[in-house]
Amino acid sequence: MFRRAMADPRPEVGITIDGAAVRAREGDTVAAALLASGRDVRRRTAVSGAARLPFCMMGVCFDCLVSIDGVGNRQGCLIAVREGMRVEVQRGARQVGR
Amino acid sequence: MRRDYDVAVIGGGLLGSAIAWGLGRLDARVCVLDEGDIARRASRANFALVWVQGKGLGFPAYADWTVEGAGRWPELAEALRYQTGLDLCYERPGGFHMALSEREMEARAAVASRMAAQGAAAGIELLGRDELRRLMPQIGPDVVGASYCPMDGHVNSLRTFRAFHEGMRGLGVDYRAEAPVEAIEARPGGGFELRTPAGEMGAARVVLAAGNANERLARQVGLHAPMLPTRGQIIVTERTGRFLDHLVMTIRQTDEGSIMIGDSKEEVLEDAETTLRVGAVIADRARRIFPALARLNVVRTWSGIRVMTRDGFPIYDESTSHPGAFVACCHSGVTLAAQHAFVLAPMILAGRLDARAAPFSARRFADAPATLAA
């Protein structure tokens, strides 16, 4: 869907998406890394289960909600990737205690 | 164009709209005179419980009225679903009133034994910590025990409110927003003239269902509605997967997964603010009851003004100085919605409150006027 610019000089950062190793770039938001990963990263909404992708990329629409390091409902577009970060696409509502 | 109605209902909240919907089902010509969107509307601020436990302590008729009302909720939900297609999400999973100290547990035990002593139909069970943990393993270490009543339930109250309004429209009830009643005058030949900013109208009967504003309106037609409103604040979390299979009086999970946390009480009547001081106490108690809630994000807080009579019990009354004038005031517009639609509305259309409503007359107040029907 998205292709990284060939000339992007930023160093790589290793994260996992649903357990799979993905190379992001330093400074990527989690939402950007998801979109650039080439994987199916569509979340499912909490009530109707509709498929959604990150949309506004600026903290407003909440369509990038994602589980990061075991904590659900985080806004992927407001959080920068870190080496070793575990990202899980959230399918349905967050679970209490996670 | 001026129109005359069989009944004018003053107030379009849950109570007024339940009565008006009930009247509409009986083919009455009904109008509802309501405030606008910025009204202090308890119907949009409430906690959505169909709560039985402990209601009517010291007032057995109210306890019975509540049990009957909760019992008729399935019938109400089905009638509204059939007419409007809206699912009110009524459930009756039973409700717990949690105790966070031995003192709170003693208070629960006192309520349970006093309700039993007055012969209440809704039994209240007391559960110690171990018993409670088997039913609700999520509780935290501070929970001492709880009282439990299997008749407690909840609904989607915003959808209930909407269903009554859609239902009224379907039944031809004439709903007027931005039409708060300023004055009610008795016509010489019977009936009433109602003055509103949206014009005047006439009705053979009038029902005051204006919440705390009933106090002011009641005086105009020889009725009595002493009110003692309080403010409540509510916290709502993000939606989560199913966490609670039962209700707690101060914590419930909605049909769509949000967790509502409530039950504060202040002698403040400003509903445009919430305060951190009160919110912190509400949140802290919720966290002590269910520690896992602590990590959830709060998405909304609000405050609302409770409709509350001076003694906390409903008032249903009719006037002798102004025949055809009725008043209905109660805190429990959700719990008692079926009673208002199915029991009270027919009495009003018949022009006479019967024995079921008699215990709720405002004659019980020392300062009641002599113009209340005996």
pLDDT in tens, B88-131: 999 999 999 999 999 999 999 999 999 999 988 888 999 999 99
Residue among A92, A93, A96 minimizing CB distance to B292: A96
Rounded Cα distance between B71 and B338, Å, is 9
Q: How many domains does chain A have?
A: 1
What pLDDT, on the 0 to 100 scale, is given for residue B219? 96
A51 located within any domain: yes
Residue among B240, B256, B290 minimizing CB distance to A94: B240
What pLDDT, on the 0 to 100 scale, is given for residue A4? 87
Which chain B residues touch A50 with a CB distance below 8 Å? none
User: What is the full per-residue pLDDT of chain B (374 aa) written as tens digits?
Assistant: 456 899 999 999 999 999 999 999 999 999 999 999 888 899 999 999 999 999 999 999 999 999 999 999 999 999 999 999 999 999 999 999 999 999 999 999 999 999 999 988 888 999 999 999 999 999 999 999 999 999 999 999 999 999 999 999 999 999 999 999 999 999 998 999 999 999 999 999 999 999 999 999 999 999 999 999 999 999 999 999 999 999 999 999 999 999 999 978 998 888 888 999 999 999 999 999 999 999 999 999 999 999 999 999 999 999 999 999 999 999 999 999 999 999 999 999 999 999 999 999 999 999 999 988 76
Q: Mutate which of B87, B139, B237, B240 to test chain A, going by most A C-beta atoms within 10 A?
A: B240
Residue B173's Cα: distance from chain center in Å?
22
B254 neighbors B156 (Cβ within 8 angstroms): yes
Q: For chain B, say whether A45 makes contact (Cβ under 8 Å).
A: no
**What range does the domain containing A34 cover?**
12-89
Q: For chain A, say whether B238 makes contact (Cβ under 8 Å).
A: yes
Q: The CATH number of the domain where A23 resides is what? A: 3.10.20.440
Task: Provide the whole-model pTM.
Answer: 0.93
Which chain A residues touch B239 with a CB distance below 8 Å? 46-47, 93-94
User: Tokens 């109602």 belong to which residue?
Assistant: B194
Nearest alpha carbon to residue B152 among B93, B68, B197: B93
A2 located within any domain: no
B194 neighbors B3 (Cβ within 8 angstroms): no
Rounded Cα distance between B82 and B187, Å, is 39
C-alpha distance from A47 to closest chain B C-alpha (Å): 6
User: Between A and B, how many CB-CB pairs are < 8 A?
Assistant: 34
Residue among B241, B256, B297 minimizing CB distance to A95: B241
Q: Tell me, what amino acid is at B174? A: D
Q: Residue A10 carries which DSSP code?
A: P
Task: Please give the structure tokens belonging to residue B44.
Answer: 């949009």
3-state secondary structure labels for all residues of chain B: CCCEEEEEEECCCHHHHHHHHHHHHCCCCEEEECCCCCCCCHHHCCCCEECCCCCCCCCHHHHHHHHHHHHCHHHHHHHHHHHHCCCCCCECCCEEEEECCHHHHHHHHHHHHHHHHCCCCCCCEEEEHHHHHHHCCCCCCCCCEEEEECCCEECCHHHHHHHHHHHHHHCCCEEECCCCCCEEEECCCCCEEEEECCEEEEEEEEEECCHHHHHHHHHHCCCCCCECCCEEEEEEECCECCCCCCEECCEEECCCCCEEECCCCECCCCCCCCCHHHHHHHHHHHHHHCHHHHHCCEEEEEEEECCCECCCCCEEEEECCCCCEEEEECCCCCCCHHHHHHHHHHHHHHCCCCCCCHHHCHHHCCCCCCCECC
Q: Residue A11 carries which DSSP code?
A: P
| % pLDDT > 90, chain A | 88
Torsion of CA B121, B126, B132, B135, to 10 degrees: -20
Binary contact (A92, B296; C-beta < 8 A): no
Rounded Cα distance between A43 and A91, Å, is 5
Q: Tell me, what amino acid is at B58? A: G
C-alpha distance from A48 to closest chain B C-alpha (Å): 9
Q: For chain A, say whether B110 makes contact (Cβ under 8 Å).
A: no
Residue among A92, A94, A97 minimizing CB distance to B238: A94
Rounded Cα distance between B49 and B320, Å, is 35
Q: Give the residue on A whose Cα is nearest the Cα of B297.
A: A73
Q: Give the residue on A whose Cα is nearest the Cα of B242.
A: A95
Which chain B residues touch A47 with a CB distance below 8 Å? 239, 256-257
Q: Mutate which of A78, A90, A96 to test chain B, going by most B C-beta atoms within 10 A?
A: A96
What pLDDT, on the 0 to 100 scale, is given for residue A97? 80
C-alpha distance from B127 to closest chain A C-alpha (Å): 25
Nearest alpha carbon to residue B228 among B249, B211, B209: B211
Nearest alpha carbon to residue B147 among B85, B104, B209: B104
Binary contact (A95, B240; C-beta < 8 A): yes
Nearest alpha carbon to residue B153 among B226, B234, B51: B51
Sign of CA dihedral B336, B338, B343, B344: positive
Task: Please give the structure tokens belonging to residue A40.
Answer: 């199916």
What pLDDT, on the 0 to 100 scale, is given for residue B373? 76
A29 located within any domain: yes
A61 located within any domain: yes
Q: Write down all domains in chain B, each with its CATH number in brackets.
A: 4-68+158-226+311-364 (3.50.50.60), 95-152+228-306 (3.30.9.10)
Rounded Cα distance between A6 and B107, Å, is 71
A12 neighbors A25 (Cβ within 8 angstroms): yes
Q: For chain B, say whether A93 makes contact (Cβ under 8 Å).
A: yes
Residue among B239, B290, B295 minimizing CB distance to A46: B239
Q: Mutate which of B136, B237, B238 to test chain A, going by most A C-beta atoms within 10 A?
A: B238
A94 located within any domain: no
A6 located within any domain: no
pLDDT in tens, A13-33: 999 999 999 999 999 999 999
Provide CB contacts within 8 A for B223, sequence distance 6+: B208, B217, B317, B318, B319, B322, B325, B326, B327, B362, B371, B372
ipTM of the complex: 0.84
A31 located within any domain: yes
Nearest alpha carbon to residue B28 among B206, B221, B218: B206
Q: For chain A, say whether B256 makes contact (Cβ under 8 Å).
A: yes
